């Protein structure tokens, strides 16, 4: 006996989303801005340079502390470049996000992975996902 599968209705999909049975948010593929800044500032190399600058300040060798300006500029450039790369990767990942073909209201539709919901009707679901 063959039964025609019609998929979920829009109302059933909304119910499942309200119950939290949806796909959720997409996985973050890049570092956060805070993590980028923290990883560029909190390094052993930076600690040693700031320690040397502090010791030079303590003994009054101010003319020898000019390296700290170049050092801070280097940190700023590193943070700027990594933030720019993050923005580019985030923009490109939106274009390359896969979609899935599902049955909704008896018709095939292409949706993003985050819009998938559980179908609680089938005890043993053999769902075939087609990534495009």
Asked if 87 and 38 sit in the same domain, the reply is: yes
Which of 121, 102, 110 shows the shortest CA–CA distance to 15? 121
Q: Is 106 helix (H, G, I), strand (E, B) or coil?
A: coil
pLDDT at 18: 78
Per-residue pLDDT tens digits for 28-44? 788 999 999 999 999 99
Residue 16: inside a domain = no
Asked if 37 and 80 sit in the same domain, the reply is: yes
What CA–CA distance (Å, rounded) separates 22 from 114?
7
Asked if 87 and 68 sit in the same domain, the reply is: yes
Based on the structure, what is the number of domains in the chain?
2
Residue 88: inside a domain = yes
pLDDT at 125: 45
Domain around 74: 31-96
Asked if 85 and 109 sit in the same domain, the reply is: no
pTM comes to: 0.60
Residue 17: inside a domain = no
What CA–CA distance (Å, rounded) separates 2 from 94?
39
């Amino acid at each position: 006996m063959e039964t025609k599968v019609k998929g979920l209705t829009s109302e059933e999909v909304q119910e499942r989303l309200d119950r939290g049975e949806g796909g959720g948010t997409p996985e973050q593929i890049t570092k956060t801005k805070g993590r980028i800044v923290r990883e560029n500032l909190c390094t052993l190399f930076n600690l040693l340079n700031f320690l040397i600058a502090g010791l030079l300040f303590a003994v009054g060798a101010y003319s020898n502390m000019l390296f700290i300006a170049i050092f801070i500029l280097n940190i700023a450039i590193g943070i700027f470049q990594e933030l720019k790369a993050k923005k580019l990767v985030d923009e490109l990942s939106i274009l390359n996000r896969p979609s899935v073909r599902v049955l909704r209201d008896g018709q095939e539709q292409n949706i993003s992975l985050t819009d998938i919901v559980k179908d609680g009707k089938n005890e043993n679901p053999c769902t075939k996902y087609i990534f495009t």
